[in-house]
Amino acid sequence: MKFVLFTFTLFGVAILCYSQDQQVKVYTTQRLQGEAPKIDGYADDPAWEQVEWGGGDFTQHSPDDGGEPSVQTKFKVLYDAKNLYVLFKNLDSEPDKIVNRMSRRDGFEGDFVEINIDSYYDKRTAFSFTASVSGVKGDEYVSNNGNNWDANWDPIWYLQTSINEEGWIAEMKIPLSQLRFADKPEHIWGMQVTRRFFRNNERSNWQYIPQDAPGWVHLFGELRGITGIKPQKQLEIQPYMVARSERYQKEDGNPYRTGSSSDISFGADAKIGLTSDITLDLTVNPDFGQVEADPSQVNLSAFRLFFPEQRPFFIEGNNILTFPVENNNNNNLFYSRRIGRSPQGSVDTDESGEDNVDEYVDKPTNTSILGAVKLTGKNKNGFSWGILESVTAREEAEIDSLGVRRKEVVEPMTNYFIARAQQDINEGNTLVGGMFTAMHRQIDGESLNWLHREAYSGGLDFTHHWLQRTYFFGAKVTYSHVKGDTEAIKATQESAERFFQRPDNHHTKLDSSRKSLSGTGGTLIFGKRSGKIIYDAGFTWRSPGLELNDVGFLSQTDIMSQWAWMQYRKLKPFGAFRSMRTNLMQYLSWDFGGVNIERGVEMNGHLEFKNFWGVSSGFELTGNTISNADLRGGPSLTYPGRFSQWLWVGTDHRKKLRVSAEGWWGQGFDGYQHNRGFALNFNFRPTNALVISASPSVSNNHSELQYVETVERSEKDDYIIASIDQNTYNLSLRMTYMITPNLSLQYWGQPFAASGRYSHFKKVTQANAENYHNRFDLLASTYNLANEEHQLDENGDGNTDFAIGNPDFNFAQFRSNMVVRWEYIPGSTLFLVWTQNRDESPSVDKHSFNHLYNGLFDKKPHNAFLIKYTYRFIL
């Protein structure tokens, strides 16, 4: 604790404060008189003569922070009762060199110009509209003073562009219904205009904001002159129809695997502006068939894997309904992938105890979302809030046994409720907020008694900035409470997140009679976010009883951590470089028994050259690490320290062909572990409309301490570990072809293969012995090919003491997704989708690369075809 206090004191007094005294620019618009300008990209309508040009005095943001830009930008803004009209004149003395690249929406390729509008005028949030020279739209909802940019926000607005002898023109029409603002007679809105000049990879701003500024939105210029407008009540309804057909390998005798299936479904999404401050989003029977599949992974740890949300309803506005328990990981009170998750129950196909070889199971792959409603709002007093309510269906698996069918519940009907609120104080310099989540399951019968019936979590957070937002202090605390049958709470205590049953766990105890469990978590952080030197330091904890995985995401509990991080940066060009960043981090962790379980230091640096090449490198050094989970309920296990390094090199990202390469390698002390890997990334753009990328990688990991199995003995359980040699091969392929700015063809495919070979089996004896070799005993092993098991001799007498199954594995998979997307009118879309999956588990007699892939493409794949048609009604 003295070290923590020393760290805070050192950083607090060592760094001089950042300050700036800058004039705020103002652009005064006028109400449109007469006919509105035609949005055609030519800017020749008389309406534009009603206002003066703004801009022409932009300042470079990067690379030469504060310098004169290579090209200048002018703009005009008009408005009427329904729309905001924006005109950009992007000057360029060499218009034939303008980079006219196309991409899907929010691709931000080539030259573009962008306007950010803080219509709340809360100096924290903004609506961003981007026009690429190719006519592709980009739009983002900006929150947390520019720290969060939500590109999944897709408002309805209109854009046309053209190239002429002076440069290029962009015209926008933004319906006021897509913005949020207070009901008052006269408005002042924050405004920023940004231009990217792609040839020089240069950005310039109308209102100058230094690269090292401690924020974004609060430093905007001002848009004045807007009077007499009323908040628009937004009403958009988007019904859809999905027709699906699947083709796959037929299984003889299996009535659920006939080789083909098809269905048709209907649903609807809606967005309703209830008032000027409140928006309602709802979905009924949502379909996410066009969403890309998760990347393949092999997980040999005790912990859950985190996959990012990809479903449109949940990712739009997810920066509102979020409450990270800590700053730099995925632990959060709300993890939207819990809603619609795969059914958690398993099916018993052996009720009689006999070998029911003729039983077949039809189990849903996902839980049906009956409906979801999301309410969000922010008023003129700086109070923002969001509520999400969702109900998922009761799911049953059907079992067929020689034509006789029965059903078993594999997921109960479940209700999810999430609420988040924040209050801005002192123009956003202080934030106070909270979050609450609740989950209720309707569990009938005993088959799912191991699930929680109720789960609640809540949190409070506080952030304060001072000295022009240069410094900040943050604090948050979380609490969870779960309830269920004794079976459910016992399973929670024994789960990988906590393992209360560990024999050396003296600070928490397994209580099989409990019907509830509670825990806490939290973070304290202090830091500086501007200037050449920035830093933060803090302390975080997750108590053993904390449980968030019914609604949120939680990887591990029983941990307290302290960290200190500092970055030195030069953001203006110097010598041969455009920019430089160097990071240094130190960290310590303990469990709630006071045992130091982790300590280490990291250092890395990042350089960008003036030719736009980049290089990054870093290392990490850790001391002895203690895992409370790797023996799956056994004693904690001490690992020796390790040293690891990595190196990345990338070419000029402006070029039509760009390449990056990354290598990593590490070595554990006492020879217990080593790993190495290499990854390439190729990005090729043969035309402005086509981009092709390929990202192959290969990695090898060798560890002497990989958990294999727990052997139950009458006197004491034995924990078996072994050496593992694991190889992973991965290739991600992606192609996007833009036929028009609103019509695209996109393909993604991922061949993936992994193998693991186990040897040198060991029995853990003194898991935390000071001497590494005293932590285990090596076992004599003989492989029985007929039984596919390892026969282990623990005392060297030549007799088999116990046997374990062969843990070797081979796995190969191919996933792909092809989508034709046509936004035929703004907000209305037609999708044509083809997905293909192939899985293979080759025999483990060989582990070569060729063996892993042999047969994968000979097997009939699982193909799915769907057509999704949506039409958005704007009422």
Nearest to 176 by CA among 385, 379, 28, 31: 31
Q: Which DSSP state fits 512? A: T
Question: What number does CATH give the domain 24-227?
Answer: 2.60.40.1190
Encoded tokens for 47 = 């309406």
Question: Taking the model in full, what pTM does it have?
Answer: 0.89
Judged against a pLDDT cut of 90, whether residue 423 lies above it is answered with: yes
The region of weakest confidence among 72-76, 361-365, 438-442, 596-600 is 361-365
In whole angstroms, give the CA distance from residue 648 to residue 650: 7
pLDDT of residue 803: 92
Q: What is the pLDDT of residues 197-237, one digit of tens each?
A: 999 999 999 999 999 999 999 999 999 999 999 887 778 88
Cβ-proximal residues to 386 (8 Å cutoff; 6+ apart), any chain? 317, 320, 321, 374, 375, 376, 377, 418, 419, 420, 421
Beta-bridge partner residues of 735: 692, 747
DSSP code, position 292: P
pLDDT value at residue 467: 92
Cα separation of 874 and 200, whole Å? 41
Residue 8 clears pLDDT 50, i.e. is over it: no
Contact status, residue 197 vs residue 204, Cβ threshold 8 Å: yes
The share of the chain scoring above pLDDT 70, in percent, equals 96
Buried residues in 431-454 as b, exposed as e (16+ CB within 10 A): bebbbbbbbbbebeeebbebbbbe
| pLDDT at res. 290 | 66
Average pLDDT of the segment spanning 818-847: 92
For residue 798, the number of C-alpha atoms closer than 13 Å in the C-beta half-sphere is 0
Domain ranges in the chain are 24-227, 315-598
Going by pLDDT thresholds of 50, 70 and 90, the confidence category of residue 91 is very high
According to the 3-state scheme, what is the secondary structure of 795-824? CCCCCCCEEEECCCEEEEEEEEEEEEEEEE
Q: What are phi and psi of 280, to 5 degrees?
A: -110, 125
pLDDT tens string 555-584: 999 999 999 999 999 999 999 999 999 999
pLDDT at 192: 98
pLDDT higher than 90, residue 619: yes
| Pairwise pLDDT comparison (271 vs 521), residue with the higher score | 521
- Cβ atoms < 10 Å from Cβ of 68: 11
For residues 384-411, give the mean pLDDT.
Answer: 93
Task: Identify the CA nearest to 801 among candidates 783, 787, 780.
Answer: 780
C-beta separation of 141 from 127 below 8 A: yes
Q: pLDDT class for 22, splitting at 50, 70, 90?
A: low
Q: Quick one: average pLDDT of 20-32?
A: 85
Q: Taking residues 478-504, report their average pLDDT.
A: 96
**pLDDT (tens digit, 9 = 90+) per residue, 642-660?**
999 999 999 999 999 999 9
* pLDDT > 90? residue 3: no
What is the percent of the chain where pLDDT is above 90? 76
Check: CB of residue 730 under 8 Å from CB of residue 696.
Answer: yes
pLDDT at 623 exceeding the cut of 60:
yes
Nearest partner of 89 among 194, 196, 166, 30, judged by Cα: 166
662-707 pLDDT per residue, tens:
999 999 999 999 999 999 999 999 999 999 999 999 999 999 999 9
Cβ–Cβ under 8 Å, residues 160 and 39: yes
Q: Virtual CA dihedral for 686, 688, 692, 693, nearest 10 degrees?
A: 110
Residue 350 has a pLDDT of: 59
Least confident of 21-25, 407-411, 839-843: 21-25
Mind giving me the DSSP string for 77-119?
A: EEE-SSEEEEEEEEE-S-GGG------STT---SSEEEEEEES
Type of residue at 273: G
Instruction: Report the mean per-residue pLDDT for the chain.
Output: 91
Tell me what the mean pLDDT of segment 444-449 comes to: 88
What are the residues facing 246 on neighbouring strands? Answer: 261, 864
Residues 546, 512: Cα–Cα separation, whole Å:
17
Residue 353 has pLDDT above 50, yes or no: no
